[in-house]
Amino acid sequence: MEEQRKAELEDERDYRRHVEEEELQQEEQKLLQRAMRMRLEWEEEMQELNTLLFNAKCNMIWDKQVLEKRMIHKELVEEEKRLDKMLEMEREKGLEVQEELERCRKRELIRARQHIVKQMEQNAEERALRAEELYQEGQRQLERLEQMKREDRKEREAALEAEQEQLCLEKEKELARLRATQKQAQDWQAERDALKAKRNQEAADREWRRRETEKTQRKAEMQQQLRQDWLQQVAQKEQHLAMQMEQDRQEFQRVLRAHQEQLEQEKLQEEQRELRQRAHAEDVRRQIQELRQQRQRERAAGAEEGRQQEQEIRQRSQRLAQLRQQKLQEFRATGMPEKYCAQVERKA
């Protein structure tokens, strides 16, 4: 058992030594291959191949950078066109808004003027109607006065005519009585009666004249009172008309002031709107300028990065060297475009 155990241990040690020897051989083989590759890297043919590969990569990077620059330039041009178009649209929109506000203001001004003119015309028509009514009322008062004068004159004429007729009758009666008395008795008593009758007649005449004078005076006083009443009514109506005209004038001034205040308010709002539009346009221009500067910085950074990459590639090309066939296989295996692979194969 011990001998068997020793034999197994010896076999196990032999196996381990064999494995270790194989690993050492493999490691030595790798070192030999690496050394061989390093020696081959310094061969002129491999260096030319590395140069071709490096130039192909540089051409690809250069073409890519040119394409990117063209695309960036195109994007910048399109962006500038879009921003210019947006600014133009904003400007046209602002002009349209301003024109619409101006049209609204003019329409409002025309409506206000038409309203004021219409109100003034209505007030003028009302004043004309009131003046016409006042004139017609005055004419009616004058006609009533004239009618009263005519009626009074007719009454006086009728009373005078009746009184005269009565006096004539009384005179005729008295004369008849006197004649009869004279015929019957031609004495002193008859003369006294005649004298008394004459005195009575004179007294009756004086009384009639007194009554007529009083009546005429009453008529004149009544006419004077009517005239005063009419003049007072005319004065009151004129005063009322003057007050109404003053009220109309004040109302017109109020409407005019309100309209002017509204115009000033609209003007102030329009100025504020223009200031906001200008501020917005300035902000848009500032954003455009910042975007342009940012794009310029990005282009400059991209160019600098490209130069750095190119420098790194040149430096790396001085250090790197690989086997020709492996380089070509690795180069094609990277998925490079066939155009560049074909160029390398033709020049390699």
Of 32, 331, 235, give the one whose Cα is nearest residue 348: 331
Checking if the pLDDT of 321 tops 60, the result is no
Asked whether the beta carbons of 314 and 50 are under 8 A apart, the reply is no
pLDDT band at residue 181 using 50, 70 and 90 as cut-offs: low
Contact 109, 263 (CB under 8 A): yes
Report pLDDT for 97: 73
Q: So what's the pLDDT on residue 116?
A: 65
CA atoms of 171 and 141, how far apart (whole Å): 43
Whole-number average pLDDT of the chain: 71
Which stretches does DSSP call E strand in 147-239? none
Domain segments of the chain as ranges: 69-320
Q: What is the pLDDT of residue 201?
A: 67
**Closest to 255 (Cα-Cα) out of 14, 263, 292:** 263
How many beta carbons lie within 10 A of that of residue 222, not counting itself?
13
Give the per-residue pLDDT at 32.
66
Residue 278 — pLDDT band, cuts 50, 70, 90? confident
The DSSP secondary structure of 288-326, one letter per residue, reads HHHHHHHHHHHHHHHHHHHHHHHHHHHHHHHH----HHH
CB 327 within 8 A of CB 49: yes
Give the Cα-Cα-Cα angle 4, 8, 11 (nearest 5 degrees). Answer: 135
What 42-51 contacts at long range (C-beta under 8 Å, 24+ apart), as own/partner pairs, is 42/321, 45/324, 46/321, 46/322, 46/323, 46/324, 46/327, 47/321, 48/348, 49/322, 49/324, 49/327, 49/328, 49/344, 49/348, 50/317, 50/320, 50/321, 50/322, 50/327, 51/317
pLDDT at 320 over 60: no
pTM comes to 0.34
Q: Interior CA angle at 57 toward 331 and 76, to 5°?
A: 135
pLDDT band at residue 230 under the 50/70/90 scheme = confident
The pLDDT assigned to 119 comes to 72
Q: For residue 39, name the pLDDT band (cuts at 50, 70, 90).
A: low
Q: First and final CA of the chain: distance in angstroms?
A: 69
pLDDT tens, position by position, 232-256: 776 777 777 678 777 767 776 776 6
pLDDT tens-digit profile of 112-158?
A: 677 766 776 776 677 667 767 766 776 776 677 677 767 767 777 77
φ, ψ of residue 340 in degrees (nearest 5): -75, -35
Q: Assess contact for 284 and 87: CB atoms under 8 A.
A: yes
Identify each DSSP E strand in 10-49 by its residue range: none
DSSP H or E stretch at residue 42: none
